[in-house]
Structure 1
């Protein structure tokens, strides 16, 4: 398993299937890290759809999406569940960010956050527009997460 990237490291490209709820339509497509070059990206790794802490975390970020987007960032949620689960989760909670499926935990493993039993460690990574890791929050077990305002603070003034 890879180690957790350090601040300043280039984050390796990846491609995952995902979907984004727009009104009543859940648009499915592949998401690649390289498509975000030139603007900051917040990667939110969470263990599971519709679990108490994950639901609170994703709803918090969805509620704060305008603040994060005003800082120029895109936010992607990533977990091991499939797209059908993500669609149900997004619809039930009216989530306003793409949810990506890492069923084999390939991306989680590349970030060094794959974990037995829970699938992955709750983690948030901010990648700048040049693909370098700008900030990270990785939990050992995973009942805590940084609020949207903390992410916005780390995004403030970030230019690629």
Structure 2
């Protein structure tokens, strides 16, 4: 079952790139939240997307929003990726793909590669936008557009 616009993001937990347990209810339902799922650390499009979120992170913060990136990569991979590109937002390791399945993020390329999707929730945790595209940079534009209307 996939989450849809109008659904409330369910609670979940995962290990963040600092090695801490992240509980979603510490952010979701308290402030606007952008959750983006991406296939793999340090690949070309994923790096472009992460660096675009990084470069516009202050714009997200100015709108009161938090950004969370999620992939199936390991904690060690996330640490290296975040440090290499100075990523200021939360990266979560979803190695068992449980969060991806909860959200219903589809796979790309004949089901072989984990999909790229962005979910924007308002301060109450209700999804206002779901954007699914293999293009990384446009996710940032779409997320900022919807946040400005909230």
Q: TM-score if structure 2 supplies the norm length? A: 0.90
Q: How many residues were matched structurally?
A: 146
Instruction: Compute the TM-score of the two structures, normalised by the length of structure 1.
Output: 0.85
Q: Which residue of 2 aligns with 1:117?
A: 112
Deviation for aligned residue 1:143: 3.6
Question: What is the root-mean-square deviation of aligned Cα atoms in Å?
Answer: 1.5
Q: How does 1:53-132 map to 2 (within 5 A)?
A: 53-115=45-107, 116-118=111-113, 120-132=114-126
> Post-superposition shift, 1:156?
1.5
Residue deviations 1:53-89, cap 9 Å, x none? 0000000000100001100000011000011000011
Where structure 1 has 5 or more consecutive residues not aligned to the other structure, the ranges are 20-26
1:22-79 Cα deviation digits (max 9, x unpaired): xxxxx32111221112211100100000000000000000010000110000001100
Distance (whole Å) between structure 2 residues aligned to residue 150 and residue 143 of structure 1? 12
Say which structure is richer in helix: 2
Contact 1:122 1:145 in 2 (8 A): no
Is 1:134 aligned with 2:128? Answer: yes
**Other structure's SS at 1:156 match:** helix
Deviation at 1:148, TM superposition (A): 2.8
